[in-house]
């Protein structure tokens, strides 16, 4: 193949049976199960095991996996002290990439990835996966306190992943409905075929890099505003608009200037992202909870979706998963710069499922290029150059 396709658009990079997208019909399925069913009936722990093993687990298998996650939440004090030495002004994604990359120094176990042979030890793969998935939410929550000058809150084993994360992040017993929202958000963000960060994980994994390096590579890729960082931009955008009545003039200006409307459009979907539908419904339910006081962000978001869909719907541009997730997190009191780390907490499940799949039939990635530089030429001595 000699043609050049920017962004490798439409170029198959691997074979996978982990997830499926039909962008014209708005379908997303993990291992064949529609995302709507998983969001309603499953949990992050069960969804993670589904992604890893390919089947819905038995009650006994799920209980064992959940117990392993809970027992592996603690991190060594060396990591905590390292985190304390980092600039508090740094973005949490930079901290997360640094901390995850360092885990391999404190929790070694890469013996399966030495030499040129492919690792077939499923126990090793499972063990390393548990260690990483269990500790990423802990690291994210620890940083929230460390960067404010406080010691982090210790994890608890009597809470689910979502509950423990909110407990460690906010320092109080999590609101049950907020915990349910967080759990569902983790399910929705856990996997999405070969996106940029998953591709980065595949490339790193193909070299037999450690799983810590694989996930750190994916985290760095996710940090970009065109990938995981878009949900932060959505909230900033809605705050800039200010109120629903400001939407028409603001949208006209953006379209005239051909400026980006954050949270709209997706390379895979020509209809509204199915995850956005679920998140919007959760936002509506949150607004109806007793004692809830929802800000104008949601009303502004609804007005912008309505106006933008009228103008852009014919082009297949609709809200994506980033559009409502940041609003939900804002209403739950979560800082804006923690939105993308939460994405990473969830997507680690998909990254490691693809890492496992990559190892089963590994070949190092080595794409070609279309060279557009100078032809072969003679070296010119410096005294002869003009």
Residues with catalytic roles: 266, 322
| Dist. CA 23–CA 192, nearest whole Å | 12
Contacts of 261 (CB under 8 A, 6+ apart): 237, 251, 254, 304, 308, 312
Handedness of CA 338, 344, 349, 350 (dihedral sign): positive
Tokens of 198: 């998953």
| Dist. CA 196–CA 267, nearest whole Å | 12
Tokens of 19: 């997830």
CB 264 within 8 A of CB 312: yes
Q: How far is CA 301 from the centre of its chain?
A: 22
| Dist. CA 157–CA 177, nearest whole Å | 20
| Dist. CA 45–CA 206, nearest whole Å | 26
Contacts of 95 (CB under 8 A, 6+ apart): 83, 86, 139, 143, 147
């Amino acid at each position: 193949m000699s043609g050049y396709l920017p962004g490798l658009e439409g170029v198959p990079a691997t074979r996978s049976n982990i997830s499926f997208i039909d962008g014209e019909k708005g379908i997303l399925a993990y291992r064949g199960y529609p995302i709507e069913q998983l969001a309603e009936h499953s949990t992050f722990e069960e969804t993670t095991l589904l992604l890893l093993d390919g089947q819905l687990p038995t009650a006994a298998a799920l209980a064992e996996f959940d117990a392993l996650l809970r027992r592996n939440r603690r991190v060594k004090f060396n990591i905590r002290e390292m985190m304390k030495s980092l600039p508090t002004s740094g973005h949490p994604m930079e901290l997360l990439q640094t901390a995850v990359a360092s885990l391999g120094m404190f929790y070694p176990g890469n013996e399966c990835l030495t030499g040129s042979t492919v690792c077939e030890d499923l126990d090793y793969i499972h063990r390393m996966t548990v260690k990483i998935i269990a500790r990423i939410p802990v690291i994210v929550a620890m940083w929230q306190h460390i960067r404010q000058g406080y010691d982090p809150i210790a994890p608890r084993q009597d809470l689910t992943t979502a509950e423990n994360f909110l407990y460690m992040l906010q320092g109080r017993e999590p609101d049950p409905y907020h915990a349910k929202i967080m759990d569902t958000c983790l399910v929705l963000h856990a996997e999405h075929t070969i996106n940029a960060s998953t591709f980065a994980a595949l490339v790193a994994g193909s070299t037999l890099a450690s799983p810590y390096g694989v996930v750190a590579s994916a985290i760095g890729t996710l940090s970009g505003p065109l990938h995981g960082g878009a949900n932060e931009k959505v909230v900033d955008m809605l705050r800039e608009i200010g109120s629903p009545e400001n939407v028409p003039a603001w949208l006209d200006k953006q379209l005239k200037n051909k400026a980006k409307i954050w949270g709209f459009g997706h390379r895979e979907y020509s209809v509204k992202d199915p995850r956005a539908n679920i998140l919007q419904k959760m936002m509506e339910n949150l607004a109806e909870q007793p004692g809830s006081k929802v800000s104008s962000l949601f009303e502004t978001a609804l007005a912008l979706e309505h106006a933008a869909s009228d103008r852009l719907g014919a082009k297949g541009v609709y809200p994506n998963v980033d559009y409502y997730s940041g609003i939900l997190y804002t209403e739950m009191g979560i800082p804006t710069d923690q939105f993308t780390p939460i994405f990473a907490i969830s997507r680690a499940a998909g990254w490691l499922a693809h890492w496992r799949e990559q190892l089963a039939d590994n070949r190092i990635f080595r794409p070609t290029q279309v060279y557009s530089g100078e032809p072969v030429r003679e070296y010119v001595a410096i005294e002869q150059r003009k």
